[in-house]
């Protein structure tokens, strides 16, 4: 698998990153309880297989249930061969922000919990999680992260964003070396920040590239409320051919075709999904003509593409 520079961090990551949420807690379409998840032993086998097949970039978080501890067990003796990214605990509890005077202890405590669970003494990327404008513009938080880097507890600082506003603020502050953001064929709003991130040497990690599997065979026979979404997904079949023989390949290679994108995060909880993800990163991406065509085929109302809301409404079951 090809490796790309993660911005100006000096870190090289595989084009496919292993998303660790699915191995840590029930997540995704059709996964309602732990009974639907891999056993710990099977999850460790899956992680080993991913690493041995060329993936070196593994993403997890404090909020991902048992994900950190499973990765810790899997990679205790392979630490030098992988790039580990994890995310800080959330700064808001019951709607209340952690006071500035407590932020240093809070962040350092979260990091130490991650290091213990992951069985390592440093993280390659330590990220903010579930941010908003106030968190992104808080200089105390940024200073604590910078200090952790000076102490060699982390190699680079990062942030996970959702909206275009959050992404823009994260890039503008100059405090974050890696930005993880949602982007896919349907919802391309964050593309507005790609060039600015590239100019500033910020590594971009793309998530939600398959929209929790909707940009695959799972995007069929959807709830009637999602009829327009299903029809739009079906339209991408017109872009398939010899190079892009199925929708997941098209969606993944679309994201990898942009300058400055370092890696595409794929949620993996089955061997078949792993092998499929590996096959898509084949170094043959979209030419300018195909890329322009795909860009013009984004969903006309991206604000409707709210998967957590769809899940709450029962539209994804």
Domains and CATH numbers, the chain: 3-313 (3.20.20.100)
Kindly tell me if the per-residue pLDDT of 45 is higher than 80: yes
Which pTM value belongs to this model? 0.93
Digit-coded pLDDT (tens) for 95-104:
899 999 999 9
Q: Percent of the chain scored above 90 by pLDDT?
A: 79
Kindly tell me if the per-residue pLDDT of 273 is higher than 90: no
Min mean pLDDT across 30-34, 58-62, 139-143, 211-215 is at 30-34
Please tell me the predicted confidence (pLDDT) of residue 311. Answer: 86
Please tell me the predicted confidence (pLDDT) of residue 31. Answer: 66
CA-CA distance, 134 to 295, in Å (whole number)? 32
Band (pLDDT 50/70/90 cuts) for residue 30 is low
Kindly tell me if the per-residue pLDDT of 267 is higher than 90: no
CA-CA distance, 204 to 222, in Å (whole number)? 31
Band (pLDDT 50/70/90 cuts) for residue 6 is very high
Kindly tell me if the per-residue pLDDT of 115 is higher than 90: yes
Alpha-carbon dihedral of residues 203, 9, 142, 259, nearest 10 degrees? -20
Q: Closest Cα partner for 99 from 140, 143, 147? A: 140
Q: Whole-number mean pLDDT of the chain?
A: 93
CA-CA distance, 18 to 254, in Å (whole number)? 18
In this structure, the strands spanning 96-97 and 157-160 are unpaired
């Amino acid at each position: 698998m090809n490796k790309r520079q993660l911005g100006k961090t000096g870190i090289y990551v595989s084009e496919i990153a292993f998303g660790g949420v699915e191995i840590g807690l029930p997540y995704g379409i059709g996964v309602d309880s732990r009974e639907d998840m891999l056993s710990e032993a099977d999850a460790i086998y899956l992680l080993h297989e991913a690493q041995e097949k060329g993936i070196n970039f593994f993403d997890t978080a404090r909020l991902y249930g048992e994900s950190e501890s499973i990765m810790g067990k899997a990679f205790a003796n392979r630490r030098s061969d992988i790039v580990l990214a994890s995310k800080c605990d959330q700064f808001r509890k019951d709607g209340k922000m952690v006071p500035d005077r407590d932020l240093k202890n809070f962040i350092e405590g979260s990091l130490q919990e991650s290091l213990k669970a992951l069985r390592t003494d440093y993280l390659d990327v330590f990220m903010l999680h579930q941010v908003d404008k106030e968190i992104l513009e808080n200089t105390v938080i940024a200073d604590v992260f910078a200090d952790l880097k000076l102490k060699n507890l982390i190699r680079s600082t990062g942030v996970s964003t959702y909206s275009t506003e959050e992404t823009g603020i994260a890039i503008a502050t100059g405090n974050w070396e890696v930005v993880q953001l949602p982007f896919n064929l349907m919802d391309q709003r964050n593309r507005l920040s790609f060039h600015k991130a590239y100019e500033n040497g910020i590594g971009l990690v793309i998530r939600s590239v398959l929209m929790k599997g909707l940009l695959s065979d799972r995007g069929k026979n959807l709830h009637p409320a999602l009829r327009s979404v299903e029809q739009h997904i079906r339209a991408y079949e017109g872009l398939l051919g010899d190079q892009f023989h199925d929708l997941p390949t098209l969606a993944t290679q679309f994201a990898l075709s942009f300058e400055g994108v370092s890696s595409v995060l794929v949620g993996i909880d089955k061997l078949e999904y792993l092998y499929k993800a590996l096959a898509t990163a084949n170094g043959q991406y979209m030419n300018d003509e195909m890329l322009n065509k795909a860009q013009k085929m984004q969903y006309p109302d991206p604000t409707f593409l709210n998967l957590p809301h769809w899940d709450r409404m029962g539209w994804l079951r």
